[in-house]
Amino acid sequence: MNDELFLNEQVRVVAVFGDGLNPCRPLRFRRLNGREFDITEIGLRHPTMQGKRMLHIFDVTDSCTDYRLEFDAQQLTWRLTREADHVDK
C-alpha cells in the first residue's frame, strides 16, 4: 500500500542560503545513528503553518530513497519526518 515510514527525528543538516526561486537548499544531513546522506535533488519545498509557526517542508532524495525534512523557521531546527522505501540504483 504505502511505502513511507513516519519519523520525528532531529537531524543535523548542511544547507546553503542564497537567492533565486529556492533560496534555501539543504545539501546533506546526518541522522542520529551517524549515517550521512547527500541530497541529490529537492523535489518540492513548500511552506506550511502550524498555527503561527512556519515550517518549510523539503521533500528530497539521495537518489535511492525519498526523505522529508522539516525546517522550523522559529526554532531553527531540522527534523526528518518521512523516509520512503529504498530503491536500488
Partner 1 sequence: MLINDRYNTEPSLIMHVDLNSAFASIEQQSRPMLRGKPIAIINRRTEHTAIVTASYEAKSAGVKVGMKFREAAKLIPGLIGIESDPPKYRYVYRKLMAILSSYSPNVVMKSIDEGIIDFHGVPLQKTLIEIGYEIKKRLREEVGCAMRCNVGIGPSRFLAKTAAGLNKPDGLDVVDATNLRKVYKTMKLTDITGIASHMQHRLNAVSIFTPIQFLDTDMVSLQKVVFKSVNGIYWYQRLRGYEVDDRTTDVKTVGRQYVLENRDLTHSQIQARLHNLCESVGYRMRSQNKVARGVHIYIRTVDRKYWHTCTMSQIPFYSDKTINTIAQQLFLSAPGNVQEIGVRCYELSNNDNPQVSLFNDEVVREQQLVGAIDDINQRFGDRTVHSANTLNTGRFIKTKIPFGSTRYL
Which residues here bind partner 1, judged by CB under 8 A? Answer: 1-3, 21, 41, 43-44, 46-52, 57, 59, 61, 63-66, 84, 87
CA nearest neighbour of 62 among 79, 43, 81, 34: 43
Nearer to partner 1, 10 or 50 (CB): 50
Nearest to partner 1 of 24, 84 (CB atom): 84
Q: Tell me the sheet residues that pair with 41.
A: 61
Could you tell me the smallest distance in angstroms from the CB atom of residue 70 to partner 1? Answer: 11
Q: Residue 15: which of 80, 85, 78 has the closest Cα?
A: 78
* Closest to partner 1 by CB, 1 or 34: 1
| CB distance 53 to 74 below 8 Å | yes
